[in-house]
Structure 1
Amino acid sequence: MAEKLAKSLIGMMGGLLSLSFGKQLIVFIISMLPILELRGGLIAASLLKLPPLESYIIAIVGNVIPVPFILLLINKILRAMEKSRFKLFNGIHSFLHKKIMKNKDSIEKYGFWGLVIFVGIPLPGTGAWTGAIIAAFLEMDRKKAFIGILLGMLMASIIMMIISFGLISKVA
């Protein structure tokens, strides 16, 4: 699924390829997006034939940028959505609240390391965005949460580098 989305986004952003840094910009933008995040960014980087180390750095930077904003603002946004008279906002709030409640216990139980592992295992529905939303909802210390999310991103990016670029086969 992530590969199909990455290919679609590359196609949609194809005009950027004419820029000297267009491929890098596409990876950066995809890495900032919820759901795809650095997983999608690294898949896109592989499809665009960017060097692995360059891709790794761009994906991490792109994925980390939204995190402080999420940690600072998401609770206010969720409260406003919950009170909104617009059904769309109520639906988004309900979806996010269910996602938070589904993953809350394991992160609450294991704290910082639970957050690192949650963000670090590159599965659908995990990642920096969801980790930051859950950390904010649980009112974790923002600095600790940011560090935990960053460590998880580093872990997930190494796993995704191996998958996306086939690094094991290149070393063997």
Structure 2
Amino acid sequence: MLADIVSTFLVSISPLGESRVGIPLGIFKGLPILVAFVFGLAGNLLVFPLFNTAIDLVHKSLWKYHTYRQTSLWMMRRSKKLLGKHVKAYGFWGLMLFVMIPLPVTGAYMGVIGAKVFGIGTKTAFLAISIGIVISASIITVVSHLVS
């Protein structure tokens, strides 16, 4: 059971899965629904402080490298394109709704990038992204339970 909890947590914190994959994985592996939800949610909620801090720490020092700069600009453009209408029009609520939608590329990682691109304050972004993650994880848990 411990290995299943750890894998649920790690998949939920990864940019390839987040809780959208972590929670169903935990349920599929036989974890109780509440355990899968709690550890999937915990992993996904850690994305904001870890990724936000990583961006702040490494962005300035790596900006001088061409490959990093090109990748960063691509991610910023993509984030602006995906989030632009929602965040410009609705601010906090737009960011929350974007993260809440349980689809690929609409999770916490893109939410953090979008918050940086649009200059949304750290506390506001954290709250919007966290609420979006909780709602998304709840939807995923209910759907996974109904399907399993």
Interval containing the TM-score (normalised by the shorter chain): 0.7 to 0.9
Pair 1:129 & 2:109 matched: yes
Give secondary structure in 1 for the equivalent of 2:119: coil
Distance 1:99 1:81 in 2: 20
Question: Over residues 44-74 of structure 1, what are the superposed CA-to-partner deviations in whole Å (9 max), with x where a residue is unaligned?
Answer: 1122111111111101110111201333442
In 2, the alpha carbon distance for the partners of 1:104 and 1:71 equals: 19
Whichever of the two has the greater Rg, that structure is: 1
* 1:101 shift after superposition: 1.6
Gaps of 5+ in 2: none
Q: TM-score normalized by structure 1?
A: 0.76
Which residue of structure 2 aligns with residue 138 of structure 1?
118
Which one of 84, 89, 107 corresponds to residue 65 of structure 2?
84
Residue number in structure 2 paired with 1:94:
73
- What is the one-letter code of the residue matched to 2:43? G
2:132 paired residue number: 152
**Structure 1 segment 8-157 matched on structure 2, within 5 A:** 20-74=1-55, 77-78=58-59, 80-85=61-66, 87=67, 89-102=68-81, 103-157=83-137
More relative contact order, 1 or 2 (CA 8 Å, 6+ apart): 2
How far did 1:108 drift?
2.2
What is the DSSP-based 3-state SS (H/G/I as helix, E as strand, rest coil) of the residue aligned with 1:83? coil
Structure 2 CA distance, aligned partners of 1:82 and 1:136? 15
More displaced, 58-67 or 104-113? 104-113
Please tell me the root mean square deviation across aligned C-alpha atoms, in Å. 2.1
Gaps of 5+ in 1: 1-19
Q: Matched residues in 2 for 1:166 and 1:121: separation? A: 18
Give the TM-score, by structure 2 length: 0.87
Q: Percent of aligned positions with the same letter in both sequences?
A: 27
Matched, 1:165 2:145: yes
1:58-93 alpha-carbon deviations (Å, 9 max, x no partner): 0111011120133344256445554313x3x24422
